[in-house]
Structure 1
Amino acid sequence: MSSLSRLSHALIIAASVCAFASPANAQQPASMDTARIEQITGLKGTFSKQEGVFKVSKPRNDVKVQVDGSTMPPFMGLTSYAAFQPAHGSQVMMMGDTVVFEDEVNPAMSAALDAGLEVTALHNHFFFDQPKVYFMHIGGTGDAATLAEGVKKVYDRIAEVRAAHADPENAFPGHIGDSSNISPAPLEAVFGSKGQTNNGMFKVVVGRTASMHGVTVGNEMGVNTWAAFAGTDDEAVVDGDFAMREGELQAVLKSMRASGINIVAIHQHMTGESPRILFLHYWGKGKAVDLARGVKAALNAQAAITR
């Protein structure tokens, strides 16, 4: 082979290598300072060359958990994590799953929202777990350091809850009696619509529509937001469900948490619907009219997005 042929052959090989190389194979993406992420979160991470993802993890070994009568080690799914991946330009995408006990959920959620992160799901992974364990999914896109600071604030808030009470709490503050005597008129004035009454309780329902398999489904099929009130006017509880498009979720969450209403689940009820509908379940305690105003404020925040 001549010198010219050998040079051409080498150039072809080099071009082939470049063609098959990807950012995921680099030692570290230029737009993501992994050492800075570790410094901010205070956690050691691992980098996947194959996917170009840097992940920090935090095992929940501060509280002993039993599932179905057996002790559950963090390796079996009780580890919080936040994963970072280069997105567009200098921006980074973060996705994470956070292990939380019932009394940590809403403080951690508020910390995430206040830090500019998104909360995208809240659910359980187990049955017969003691204490009850939930999983809060978080995410965001932007500056890697800012996202890492948000993750750190979530983890710090969880630590503050556990520092105040080593064992997870089993009830929200406040007392609600077994009998109900809710005055409908003040709540109907807040919502601007008539509600349903039953044995001293009050309920208001707001329907919306979606399409499934070419069929329109609405309020009576379960595509609705509702709020039910029990107790008394001064010591009431509200529970309910919010039906939201994906783009409305964060606004509703922020509004509900600003009103002190606790979020207990975020998930879907259907598959194949259009537009996609997410559902948020909530629980609040306080004066009935204050709780109604909190729910109404979230409805208003949702409406502002859908206009």
Structure 2
Amino acid sequence: MSTPIHPRHSGIVSRPIGASFVTAGLSLLFVLTACSPKDKEGDQDEERAESPAAEQQEKQTAAVQPQAAPTPIDWSKVAGALGRSGAVQPGDVYRVGIPRSDLHVTVGRVLIKPALALGSWVGFKQTGPNEATAMGDLVLLDSEVGPVTRKLQEGGIEQTAIHNHLLHEAPHVLYVHIRGQGEPDKIAAAIHSALAVTKTPLGEATGKSESLDLNTTKVSQALGRTGKVSGGVYQVSVPRAEKVTEAGMEVPPAMGVATALNFQPTGGKRAAVTGDFVLIGSEVNPVIRALKQNGIEVTALHTHMLEESPRLFFMHFWANDDALKLARGLRAALDKMNVKPSS
């Protein structure tokens, strides 16, 4: 019969069974922790830090790819809805002129041609797939303002200004500035509906040309700018040097933020001049002084937009005198402004 071995004499330390499992579990946890994902991530971070090319590749992969340009708008649909076609101007602006050839407006003895100061217009700028912002200016008689603005509001078209441009004209004329956002053909249809309550001619313009009794070469030299002949009027456009935005959207000069200088010959080397200077606040009074020193009357000073940046003021003017003298006076005013250099 064998003699039992006492634990103290066997060389084996006796422990409770539960304690052995705890010890083994802690050892396993230590091993798992030592090989945890954090250490693997740390190793990967070190690898990336040691490999700038790999990090750059990751950034390029994560970068958002630029979206494709939207399909260009079919402006013929806009022309159909508006009842009159236009043309694409610099800055991708589709601009439609709607002269009030039905009106006979005089200032003193001068019968105003539509191209001088009676031209309604609207410009469209694409802002997304079949979406555009429209801005414009509608020439209205006093009696037309209420019905037209009612129709515009019904069609979702905003009014941003209502005011005069001229003084002493007969009959009295007001100008309603507008802004719309959305599907361009629907905007055009809403504007057409508003103009339909007036006698504004909405058919296509007749293409008759008029001779111009004005030395446009000398006028251009005096201004330091060249223009174009339209409707018996010499028209000069002078864009500002800085970018102009409205509600965050860049507004190209063709959407109404370029200075307009218009010359209508009145005989004997004279011309009636009108238009508007597009100014920032610090330019307003220097330009007023330059105009007055050259016999040009300021007829209005106001805003045309609601959310533009920089803040802009539009100064309208009038004179009927020697064309070259007036051109030099207008040049003196331009010299007080931040305008793009002539090309």
Query: Does the alignment reach a TM-score above 0.5?
Result: no
TM-score (norm. length: structure 2):
0.37
Question: Larger Cα Rg: Structure 1 or Structure 2?
Answer: 2
TM-score (norm. length: structure 1):
0.42
Give the number of the structure with larger relative contact order, counting CA–CA contacts within 8 Å between residues 6 or more apart: 2
